[in-house]
Amino acid sequence: MTQTLDTPALRTEREARSARLRKRARARRTGGSILFHAFAIAVLVVILYPAVWMLMSSFKPGNEIIGSVSLLPTGGGLQNYATALEGIGGISFWTFVLNSLILAAGSVVGILLSCSLAAYAFARVRFRGRNVFFVCMIATMLLPFHVVIIPQYIVFNELGMINTYWPLLLGKFLATESFFVFLMIQFIRGLPRELDEAAVIDGAGHPRIFFSIILPLMKPALVTSAIFAFIWSWNDFFGPLLYLKEPGMYTMPLALRLYVDQTSTSDYGAQMAMAILALVPVLLFFFAFQRQLVGGVATQGLKG
C-alpha cells in the first residue's frame, strides 16, 4: 500500500519551505515572471480563440454563421438570445435548465453517496472477494459503454422507466461510474490509517469510522468528484437522447438540437445563443469550485 504521509503538519512545513524558495526565486526571476505571463497569455489566446468565436457568432444572424470566417458580428444583435429564451414549442427555456439541473444535481448526489461507500469498502474493509471485485471495478472503468447500452435499454424498458430520469440516475446511485470510485479509493488510501485504527480500539464499527472519520476527511475528493459529475451530466447527450422522449423532459443539449433540423428550416443563431446560455451554469459551477478541483485528486496512480 502507498503511504505518502500528507499530514497537515508536514504539509505546512513543506509549504513554508517552498514559500522560502519562492521568495528567493522571485528576486532572481522578475524577468522570468514577465516571460511566464507572456507565454501563459499566448497560450490563452490560442486556446480561447474558438471560445470567443463561438460567443461572437451567437450575435450573428442565423444564416451568416456557417462558413463565416470573421470574428466580429455584422449586425443581428441580441435577436438570437431572444429566440432562445422564448423556449421551444411551448416549453419554456427554463424547463430545460431545470431538467438539466435536476439531472446534474441527482447525479452529483448519487455519485457522492454510492461511490464513497464503495470506495470505503475497497480501501478500508477486508472481506472475502474484495480483490476480485476490485479487478471488476477497474475493468468497468475501462469498459467501452457501447457493449451495454442495448441490453440496458431493454431492461429499463421492461421496468417501464423509459421517459423518466431513472435510467439516467439509477447507475449514478449504484456507483457504476468507476472513475469516481477509483478517485475516492486513491484518496482514502492516502489518509493515515492511524486514525481509523484508533477508532477501532475505541470500539467503533465500520459505519461510524466511515461517517465520522473518513467521510469528513474526504471532502476534497468529494468536491472534485462533484465538479466532474456535474459537468459530465450537464454535457451528456447520448443518455438523454436514448431515454428521454418528451420535450418537456429534455435537457439543454437535447433541446439545442431542436433548432437545427435537416428536413425543415434551421436556426443556427438561436442554437448558438442557447449553447452559450447552456454553458453559463456549468461555468458558474466550475468557477465556484475550481479552487478545490486539484485538491481531491490523490495521485498514487493505479495500484491494486
In the complex, what is the shortest distance from the CB of residue 148 to another protein, in angstroms, rounded to a whole number?
Answer: 4
Contacts of 259 (CB under 8 A, 6+ apart): 88, 266, 267, 268, 270, 271, 274
DSSP state of 91: B
In the complex, what is the shortest distance from the CB of residue 191 to another protein, in angstroms, rounded to a whole number?
Answer: 14
Please tell me whether residue 297 binds another protein under the rule CB under 8 A. Answer: yes
Enter the C-alpha cell of residue 29.
526571476
Q: Say which residue the cell 442495448 belongs to.
A: 150
Please tell me whether residue 217 binds another protein under the rule CB under 8 A. Answer: no
User: For residue 63, how many C-alpha atoms fall within 13 Å in the half-sphere facing its CB?
Assistant: 1
Query: Which residue in 246, 235, 239 sits closest to 283, CA to CA?
Result: 235
In the complex, what is the shortest distance from the CB of residue 166 to another protein, in angstroms, rounded to a whole number?
Answer: 12
Binder among 38, 125, 195, 198 for another protein (CB under 8 A): 125
Residue closer to another protein, measured from CB, 22 or 219: 22
**Using CB under 8 A, which of the segments 73-81, 101-109, 134-142, 191-199 binds another protein?**
134-142
> What residue type is 299 in one-letter code?
T
Residue closer to another protein, measured from CB, 149 or 195: 149
CB 80 within 8 A of CB 58: yes
d(CA 175, CA 142): 15
**Using CB under 8 A, which of the segments 74-82, 98-106, 137-145, 191-199 binds another protein?**
137-145
In the complex, what is the shortest distance from the CB of residue 296 to another protein, in angstroms, rounded to a whole number?
Answer: 8
- Contacts with another protein in 232-291 (CB under 8 A)? 235, 237-238, 241-242, 245-247, 253-254, 256-268, 270-272, 275, 278-279, 282-283, 286-287, 290-291
Residue closer to another protein, measured from CB, 26 or 195: 26
Binder among 142, 202, 203, 216 for another protein (CB under 8 A): 142
Q: Is 65 helix (H, G, I), strand (E, B) or coil?
A: coil
Helices (H), 125-177: 130-142, 146-158, 166-173
d(CA 185, CA 214): 11
Query: Site mask, another protein, residues 20-59, x = CB under 8 A?
Result: -xx----------x--xx-xx--xx--xxxxx-xx--x--
Enter the C-alpha cell of residue 259.
433548432
Q: What is the CA radius of gyration of the chain?
A: 24
Query: Site mask, another protein, residues 78-107, x = CB under 8 A?
Result: ----------xxxx----------------
- Contacts with another protein in 157-186 (CB under 8 A)? 157-158, 162, 170-171, 173-176, 179, 181
**Using CB under 8 A, which of the segments 2-10, 72-80, 100-108, 191-199 binds another protein?**
2-10
Distance of CA 112 to the CA centre of its chain: 12
d(CA 146, CA 130): 27
Please tell me whether residue 144 binds another protein under the rule CB under 8 A. Answer: yes
User: For residue 132, how many C-alpha atoms fall within 13 Å in the half-sphere facing its CB?
Assistant: 3
- Contacts with another protein in 187-206 (CB under 8 A)? 205-206
